[in-house]
């Protein structure tokens, strides 16, 4: 991979979790100390409650750190990204869409002004194409914001009151 291409999206002092065939992947916790990620987490609900499997079950609620640990993002150029969500996200965000007829999380990604194309090719996988390259911490913050918006919207539709 060209080091110039990696400069578009890399963060100094943060190495990818894995790299293969010109593609770098980053696990969410690698970037928890970045100000953009910390700001997105501060905007997120304190707890992402179960809305899908057993609504209100505190055992299925996720903390902000749990949510961050459930995200992996990958890119080869900073413009095309894959966002992978661990199965633990299913109770707090409709990754289907199974609960609603529309894809709330895909719509939350597509609503971001930098996103020119958003796709949902697999249950826990999203693909984004951006208008310009973003650093990996900026993309992770965008992901946390989209997850937060989708969680709040699904709770609103299901008439489930969130703790904060």
B/e letters for 59-72, b = 16+ CB within 10 Å, e = fewer, are: ebbbebebbbbbbb
User: Does residue 36 or residue 15 have the better pLDDT?
Assistant: 36
**Do 119 and 105 meet the contact criterion of CB atoms below 8 Å apart?**
no
Nearest Cα residue to 106 out of 91, 92, 117: 117
Residue 162 has pLDDT above 90, yes or no: no
pTM (predicted TM-score):
0.92
Handedness of CA 41, 46, 51, 54 (dihedral sign): positive
CA-to-CA separations, 64 to 43, 76, 110, in angstroms, rounded: 10, 27, 22
**pLDDT score at 98:** 63
Nearest Cα residue to 128 out of 113, 91, 137: 113
Tens of pLDDT, residues 65-96:
999 999 999 998 999 999 999 998 988 887 66
């Amino acid at each position: 991979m060209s080091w110039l291409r990696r400069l578009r999206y890399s963060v100094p002092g943060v190495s990818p979790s894995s790299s293969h065939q010109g593609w770098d992947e980053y696990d969410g916790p690698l970037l928890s100390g970045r100000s953009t990620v910390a700001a997105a987490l501060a905007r997120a609900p304190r707890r992402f409650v179960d809305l899908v499997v057993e609504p209100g079950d505190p055992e299925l609620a996720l903390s902000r750190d749990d949510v961050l640990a459930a995200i992996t993002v990958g890119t080869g150029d900073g413009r095309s990204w894959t966002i992978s969500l661990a199965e633990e996200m299913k109770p707090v965000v409709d990754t289907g869409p199974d609960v609603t007829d529309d894809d709330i999380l895909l719509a939350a990604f597509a609503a971001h002004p930098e996103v020119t194309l958003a796709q949902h090719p697999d249950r826990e996988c999203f693909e984004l194409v951006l208008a310009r390259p973003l650093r990996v911490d900026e993309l992770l913050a965008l992901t946390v914001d989209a997850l937060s918006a989708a969680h709040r919207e699904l709770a609103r539709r299901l008439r489930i009151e969130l703790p904060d």
